C-alpha cells in the first residue's frame, strides 16, 4: 500500500483519559495535526474513551499488574463501584495474584510497563501494512517510548518522542529498578529518536548532559492544551472562599496538610470559616481520607471525583469543571449544591 499523505502512529497509553494532563497534551493536538494534513492512527490503553474521530486501537497490557490496573478503570467506567465491579475485581485479583507476585518480584516497575509489547506488535502490523510514515510516542507512561524505540529499530521510520516529566530527577541517580528503567528509557530516546523533545529547557539540558550523543536533535517545545469552550460570567465576589484540587492524589501527593490547616484556622477563629475544599479528578488517597474522617465535622470538604466526558453534550470533564466553577463564583452554596450534586 502506498501512503498518499503523512500518517502518524500515535503511541499514547493515556489517550482520551479525561482529566489526565498526559491525555490533554496529545488529544488536543489531534485536530491541529489533521488540519495540517496529517492522518493520526492512535494506539492506547483501554482506560480512555474510544475516539470516534480517528482510527483508535485500545490494548490491554501484557503483565498481570497492568492488566488488573486497567481492568479496574474499565469496569469502573462501565459499572461504577457497585456489586458487579467488586465481584469481578475480586475474581480477577484471585486469578491474577500468582502472576502479580511473580511480576512484583522479578519486574518491580510501574504497572503500565508491559503495555509496550502489545503496542509494539500492533504498531508493527500497521507499519508492515504500509499505513504509517512517522512514529510518535508520548508520555506519561514510558511504555509508549519503549514501543516507539523498538518500532524505530525494527522499521527505521522517523520517531518523534514527546517527554513529559523528566525521566531522571535533577541531582539524583537511579537507586531502584523503576529508576533504572526510566534512565534506560531516557537513553533510548536520546540515542535513537529523530526528534526528542521536552517541556522545559532544564529537562532538555539535563538529558543532553547525560547523553551528549543526542546533540541538537533534542528540542524544547512548550506543552499546551486548547482552552475549554466555556462562556464565563463576570466574577462576582461571594461569601465563601473555595479551594479546588484538580488531579491525582497519592501517599506522596495528598491534602491532609491542607485539611489540618483548615481545622487550625477554625480553632483560631472560633467558628467554621467561610472556606471549603473541593476535590475533583481522583479517588481519595488514604492520607486525605483519614484527614476527612478526623476533621470532616469541623471543616467542609466536598469530593466530586472524576467528571468524565458527557456523552450528551460532548463536553470534557475539564470543561464541565470550568463551567461549574464559573457558576460557583456567582451563586451561593445552596445553588452550587443544586448545580453539581
pLDDT tens for 49-76 read 899 889 999 999 999 999 999 998 889 8
Sheet containing strand 159-162, strands side by side: 55-59, 39-45, 7-12, 134-138, 159-162, 195-198, 219-220
Neighbours of 317 (CB within 10 A): 21
Classify residue 161 as left (phi > 0), alpha (psi -120 to 50) or beta: beta
Does pLDDT of 37 surpass 80? yes
pLDDT tens for 144-161 read 999 999 999 999 999 999
- Cβ atoms of 258 and 285 within 8 Å: the answer is no
Helix axes 201-210 and 177-192, enclosed angle (nearest 10): 90
Which residues sit opposite 328 in a β-bridge?
Answer: none
Residue 64 CA to residue 98 CA, distance in Å, equals 9
Neighbours of 229 (CB within 10 A): 10
The predicted pLDDT at position 46 comes to 93
Where do the structural domains in the chain lie, given as residue ranges? 7-61+112-220, 64-106, 241-340
Residue 80 CA to residue 283 CA, distance in Å, equals 12
Q: And the C-alpha cell for 312?
A: 450528551
The residue-averaged pLDDT of 298-305 equals 88
Does pLDDT of 171 surpass 90? no
Q: And the C-alpha cell for 330?
A: 456567582
- Cβ atoms of 94 and 140 within 8 Å: the answer is no
Residue 134 CA to residue 341 CA, distance in Å, equals 45
The predicted pLDDT at position 332 comes to 39
Nearest to 113 by CA among 202, 177, 176: 177
196: exposed, middle or buried (C-beta count within 10 Å: 0-12, 13-18, 19+)? buried
Angle at 168 between CA 11 and CA 171, to 5 degrees: 165
Average pLDDT, the chain: 86
The residue-averaged pLDDT of 284-290 equals 90
- Cβ atoms of 250 and 285 within 8 Å: the answer is yes
Does pLDDT of 173 surpass 60? yes
Q: Could you give the C-alpha distances from 232 to 203, 236, 244, 322, 341, in angstroms and in order? A: 35, 11, 17, 8, 20
Report the percentage of the chain scoring pLDDT > 90. Answer: 53
pTM over 0.85: no
Does pLDDT of 330 surpass 60? no
Residue 219 CA to residue 205 CA, distance in Å, equals 9
Which has the minimum average pLDDT: 106-120, 269-283, 287-301? 269-283
Assign 327 a pLDDT band (cuts: 50, 70, 90).
low
Assign 269 a pLDDT band (cuts: 50, 70, 90).
confident
Residue 98 CA to residue 102 CA, distance in Å, equals 6
Does pLDDT of 5 surpass 80? no
CATH class of 7-61+112-220: alpha beta
The predicted pLDDT at position 331 comes to 41
pLDDT tens for 211-256 read 999 999 999 998 877 776 666 667 677 788 888 887 777 777 789 9
Residue 217 CA to residue 140 CA, distance in Å, equals 21
The predicted pLDDT at position 4 comes to 53
Nearest to 316 by CA among 228, 234, 187: 228
Name, in order, each residue with C-beta under 8 angstroms of 310's C-beta and a sequence gap of 6 or more.
320
Does residue 304 sit in helix, strand or coil?
strand
Amino acid at each position: 500500500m502506498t501512503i498518499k499523505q503523512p500518517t502518524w502512529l500515535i503511541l499514547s497509553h493515556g489517550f482520551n483519559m479525561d482529566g489526565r494532563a498526559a491525555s490533554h497534551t496529545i488529544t488536543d493536538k489531534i485536530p491541529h495535526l489533521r488540519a495540517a494534513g496529517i492522518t493520526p492512527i492512535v494506539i492506547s490503553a483501554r482506560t480512555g474513551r474510544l475516539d470516534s474521530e480517528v482510527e483508535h486501537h485500545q490494548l490491554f497490557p501484557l503483565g498481570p499488574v497492568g492488566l488488573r490496573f486497567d481492568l479496574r478503570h474499565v469496569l469502573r467506567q462501565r459499572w461504577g463501584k457497585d456489586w458487579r465491579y467488586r465481584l469481578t475485581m475480586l475474581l480477577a485479583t484471585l486469578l491474577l495474584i500468582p502472576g502479580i507476585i511473580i511480576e512484583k518480584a522479578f519486574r518491580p516497575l510501574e504497572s503500565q510497563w508491559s503495555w509496550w509489547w502489545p503496542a509494539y506488535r500492533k504498531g508493527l502490523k500497521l507499519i508492515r501494512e504500509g499505513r504509517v510514515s512517522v512514529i510518535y510516542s508520548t508520555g506519561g507512561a514510558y511504555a509508549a517510548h519503549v514501543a516507539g524505540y523498538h518500532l524505530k529499530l525494527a522499521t527505521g521510520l522517523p520517531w518523534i518522542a514527546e517527554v513529559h516529566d523528566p525521566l531522571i530527577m535533577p541531582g539524583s541517580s537511579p537507586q531502584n529498578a523503576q529508576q533504572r528503567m526510566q534512565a534506560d528509557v531516557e537513553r533510548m530516546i536520546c540515542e535513537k529518536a529523530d526528534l526528542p523533545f521536552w517541556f522545559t529547557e532544564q529537562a532538555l539540558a539535563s538529558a543532553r548532559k547525560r547523553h551528549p550523543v543526542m546533540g541538537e536533535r533534542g528540542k524544547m517545545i512548550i506543552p499546551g492544551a486548547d482552552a475549554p469552550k466555556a462562556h464565563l460570567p463576570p466574577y462576582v465576589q461571594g461569601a465563601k472562599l473555595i479551594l479546588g484540587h484538580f488531579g491525582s492524589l497519592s501517599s506522596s501527593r495528598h491534602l491532609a496538610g491542607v485539611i489540618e490547616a483548615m481545622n487550625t484556622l477554625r480553632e483560631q477563629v472560633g467558628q467554621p470559616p467561610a472556606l471549603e475544599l473541593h476535590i475533583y479528578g481522583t479517588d481519595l488517597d488514604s492520607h486525605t481520607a483519614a484527614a476527612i474522617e478526623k476533621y470532616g465535622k469541623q471543616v467542609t470538604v466536598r469530593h466530586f471525583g472524576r467528571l468524565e466526558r458527557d456523552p450528551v453534550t460532548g463536553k470534557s470533564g475539564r470543561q464541565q469543571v470550568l463551567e461549574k466553577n464559573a457558576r460557583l463564583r456567582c451563586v451561593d452554596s445552596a445553588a452550587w449544591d443544586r448545580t453539581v450534586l
